[in-house]
Amino acid sequence: MRAHFEKVTSGSASLLAFERVDSEFPFYWHYHPEFELTLIVDSHGQRLVGDGIGDYGPGDLVLLGSNLPHSYRSGPVKMPDQKCHRAVVIQFREDCLGPEFFKIPEMKPIMRLLQRSACGLSFSHTASGRIAAGKMKEFLSFSPARRIVELLEILVILASEPNPATLSTDYVRPMCRIEDQQRIEAICAHLSAHFDEEIDYARLADKLHMDQASLCRFFKRATGRTMTAYVNELRVGAAAQLLTTTDLSVLDIGFQVGFGNYSNFNRQFKRIKGFGPRTLRQQFRSHAEPEFTLPPGMDADPLPSRMRA
């Protein structure tokens, strides 16, 4: 995908660390030469890295390699008292501690980690990721010297994880033509706003002063997927949110996010998530609803209809 170059300003420091607090994380496809560690503290939505797209939520921790295009696109706030989206971000260059530091034998595991991050690595839901996330939450309270030590400890912890999830199927090289960047952002903004409707690709092409065939080729070349596949990913991501936050029926959710029939909804959900929508809801409820025992002599009321199988 064509991406903006982002100049990261750290002043005289060897690394840049900050808390990102916004009313939303808007789609902004960009890249920079710095490696980036991002921990989601309070947000949910979809994360785009290279040619990969996936859901994210609190606790999501990823390491992105140098010049790897990426963007976060947040969903609406989930709770009435949630006013903003929050994340902790650490950005650093490979030579932040000197041009040869990560090349010494003792740093070989970290160097391997940085090399693997060229395609983006996710440490969410791993033991090492949870430990590293705990350190990142405190990172901003440390002095500049302590931050260097803590960053090394975080990298050592992450380097010990044997199987972090890879976020992009291949290294995606950034391409910086401004007109292409503006065009791809316009396409993604339109699809994000209308994914729950029947997409009129001809109208979208006309809006961008392209013919439909050229639009489809451009999007496939820039993102590594067709627009139909991209829209299905948006729909499945939205469906996953509804499955875990509402009591709408699975069928109603499929229609609400834009699928015309249940079989296609189920098929696309399984293709993207690896399991069906009913399985996701059952797994979420089994973890979210603790078991309890009624006091002696108290009869259980029948289950409300929405909870019956």
pLDDT digits (tens, 9 = 90+) for 263-308: 999 999 998 888 899 998 887 776 554 443 444 443 433 333 333 3
Residue 300 counted as domain residue:
no
Residue 186 counted as domain residue:
yes
Q: In this predicted model, what pLDDT tens digit does every residue of 76-87 receive, in sequence order?
A: 655 556 668 999
Question: 184 with 160, same domain?
Answer: no
Per-residue burial over 177-199, b = 16 or more CB atoms within 10 Å of its CB, e = otherwise = eeebbebbbebbebbbeebbeeb
Output the domain CATH number for residue 279.
1.10.10.60
164 and 126 Cβ atoms separated by less than 8 Å:
yes
User: Of all helices (H) and strands (E), which one includes residue 205?
Assistant: helix 201-207
Domain count, the chain: 2
Long-range contacts (CB closer than 8 Å, 24 or more residues apart) made by 138-146: 139/17, 139/88, 139/90, 140/17, 140/18, 140/19, 140/88, 144/13
Question: 249 with 282, same domain?
Answer: yes
Amino acid at residue number 174: P
Question: 198 with 279, same domain?
Answer: yes
Q: Could you tell me which residue, 73 or 297, shows the higher pLDDT?
A: 73
Would the pLDDT of 10 be above 60?
A: no
Residues in contact with 25: Cβ distance below 8 Å, sequence separation at least 6, in sequence order: 43, 45, 72, 73, 74, 85, 87
Q: In this predicted model, what pLDDT tens digit does every residue of 17-66 receive, in sequence order?
A: 999 998 888 877 778 889 999 999 999 888 888 878 888 999 999 999 98
Residues in contact with 61: Cβ distance below 8 Å, sequence separation at least 6, in sequence order: 37, 38, 39, 40, 122, 123, 124, 129, 132, 133, 136
Q: Per this entry, what is the length of the chain?
A: 309
How far is residue 223's CA from residue 121's CA, in Å, rounded to a whole number? 19
Residue 203 counted as domain residue:
yes
Residue 10 belongs to what domain range?
Answer: 4-166
Q: In this predicted model, what pLDDT tens digit does every residue of 199-242 receive, in sequence order?
A: 999 999 999 999 999 999 888 877 777 889 889 988 988 888 88
Question: 12 with 146, same domain?
Answer: yes
212 and 205 Cβ atoms separated by less than 8 Å:
yes
pLDDT band at 13 (very low <50, low <70, confident <90, very high): low
pLDDT band at 74 (very low <50, low <70, confident <90, very high): confident
How far is residue 171's CA from residue 67's CA, in Å, rounded to a whole number? 10
Question: 147 with 202, same domain?
Answer: no
Output the domain CATH number for residue 152.
2.60.120.10
Question: 119 with 193, same domain?
Answer: no
Question: 215 with 243, same domain?
Answer: yes
Residue 263 counted as domain residue:
yes
How far is residue 189's CA from residue 204's CA, in Å, rounded to a whole number? 11
Residue 67 counted as domain residue:
yes
Question: 130 with 223, same domain?
Answer: no
259 and 268 Cβ atoms separated by less than 8 Å:
yes
Question: 117 with 227, same domain?
Answer: no
How far is residue 106's CA from residue 99's CA, in Å, rounded to a whole number? 15
Residue 298 counted as domain residue:
no
pTM comes to 0.65
End position of a domain, from candidates 166, 187, 221:
166
**Helix, strand or coil, per DSSP, at residue 39:** strand
Comparing CA positions, the residue from 110, 116, 122 lying closest to residue 160 is: 110
Q: In this predicted model, what pLDDT tens digit does every residue of 191-210 receive, in sequence order?
A: 888 899 999 999 999 999 99
End position of a domain, from candidates 166, 193, 215:
166
179 is written with which tokens? 């007109």
Residue 173 counted as domain residue:
no
How far is residue 22's CA from residue 237's CA, in Å, rounded to a whole number? 21
64 is written with which tokens? 């992105």
Residue 304 counted as domain residue:
no
Question: What residues pair up with 166 in beta bridges, in sequence order?
Answer: 121
Question: 157 with 20, same domain?
Answer: yes
Question: 13 with 162, same domain?
Answer: yes
Would the pLDDT of 7 be above 90?
A: no
Question: 122 with 193, same domain?
Answer: no
Rounded CA Rg of the chain: 22
Would the pLDDT of 171 be above 80?
A: no
